Homo-oligomer: A and B are copies of this chain.
């Protein structure tokens, strides 16, 4: 039996604009998906059980039910088995602290931890690059053509900058002085709808949106510098500006604004939509000592508030 865990993520700046090759920055959270892998006896199969979903399923190559929400987990394990070249029957048990479908990279963290636990159970040491790449294949099953941000951050931890044309850069940063507070709007995310809305606006008003996207790109670059310099006030300010740009591309709404301003009024250094918008979460950056105050203010209007640290550590084999 082997255990592995991987962190969830939050997008700090650049969502939506990243689609048009502007940079974005994501950070790992100290909410983790934990996965236990155990070789079984008998015929080849992968038994997947998720504590969070209260679901169990058994997958076998030809008979695997692709509609199952557990299928991507099976797929991550299968990719790992095939990569290693050992076809052992497996049991995969998932216990995740990361809320699903919240833009916090839950599926990628589970995939990364599944790959790592599977390899560890088979006594094989994969590089981080290998873990990330195998998890990405499972992400493709879930998301079609994901950017790769989620599996990269779940694998490597810390903070990374990403740009389509340039790939990933790890940011050297010490997030110790700050906390990230996430608060759920209670409105289901509608990533597809939001992406379509933003694209339509961009196509309709290229002469407005092109410079706006450039502004967003420069913002992400400035935010990367602020993170590396530990200039958290500046990062907060840039997050606030970024939020306005997301409001300009019409992915905010009344509830999101209420959360964003509640966080700022309670002393957050910055607060913004994180992810696709239209619902989902906001993220606030605070000094660590102000985390509780900001979280309390948000709890008055949000039913799910997460007080997080940035996790320097990515995927990890557990004791």
Q: How far is the CB of A3 from chain B (nearest CB, A)?
A: 44
Contact B250 A261 (CB under 8 A): no
Stretch at the interface among A42-50, A238-246, A287-295, A305-313: A238-246
Residue A262 CB within 8 A of the other chain: yes
Mask: chain A, 207-226; 1 = CB below 8 Å from B; 0 = not? 11111101100110110000
Asked if B205 and A241 sit within 8 Å, CB to CB, the answer is yes
A101 at the interface (CB under 8 A from B): no
- Our pick among B212, B241, B258 for the contact of A258 (Cβ within 8 Å) is B258
Identical subunits present? 2
Provide the residues of chain B in CB contact with A249, threshold 8 Å.
Answer: 241, 244
CB of A18 to closest CB in B, whole Å: 16
Q: Does A247 contact B (CB under 8 A)?
A: yes
- Looking at A205, A246, A265, the one whose CB has the most chain B CB atoms below 10 A away is A205
The distance in angstroms between the C-alpha atoms of A106 and B244, with both chains bound, is: 30
Q: How far is the CA of A237 from the CA of B248 in the complex (A)?
A: 10
Q: Is A254 on the interface with B (CB-CB < 8 A)? A: yes
A298 to chain B, nearest CB (A): 13
The reply on A176 being an interface residue by CB < 8 A is no
Least CB distance from A213 to B in Å reads 8
CB distance from A204 to the nearest CB of B (A): 8
Whole-angstrom distance from the CB of A196 to the nearest CB of chain B? 15
User: Closest residue of chain B to A242, judged by CB?
Assistant: B248
- What residue in chain B is nearest A252 (Cβ atoms)? B244
A253 within 8 A of B: yes
Contact between chains at A258 and B254 (CB < 8 Å):
yes
By the criterion CB–CB under 8 Å, are A244 and B241 in contact? no
Closest 10 CB pairs of A and B: A244-B248, A254-B261, A244-B247, A257-B257, A211-B211, A211-B214, A212-B215, A211-B215, A207-B218, A247-B247
How many Å lie between the Cα of A59 and that of B266 in the bound state? Answer: 50
**Cβ distance A160 to chain B, nearest Cβ, rounded Å:** 21
Which residues of chain B are near A238, meaning CB under 8 Å?
Answer: 205, 208
Tell me, rounded to whole Å, the shortest Cβ–Cβ distance linking A99 to chain B: 25
Contact at B258–A262, with CB atoms within 8 Å?
A: no
Decide: A257 near B261, CB < 8 A? Known: A215-B208, A218-B207, A222-B205. yes
Bound together, the chains give a CA A257 to CA B219 distance in angstroms of 23
B201 touches A209 (CB 8 A): no
In the complex, A212 Cα to B213 Cα: how many Å? 9
Q: Is the CB of A211 within 8 A of B218?
A: yes
Q: Nearest Cβ in chain B — how far from A1, in angstroms?
A: 51
In the bound complex, CA of A238 to CA of B204 (Å) = 11
* Minimum CB–CB distance for A219 against chain B, Å: 5
| Residues of B with C-beta under 8 A to A257 | 254, 257-258, 261
Interface string of A178-222 (1 = CB under 8 A from B): 000000000000000000000001000101111110110011011
In whole angstroms, what is the CA distance A242 to B247 when docked? 9
With A250-B241, A254-B265: A208-B219 Cβ-Cβ less than 8 Å: yes
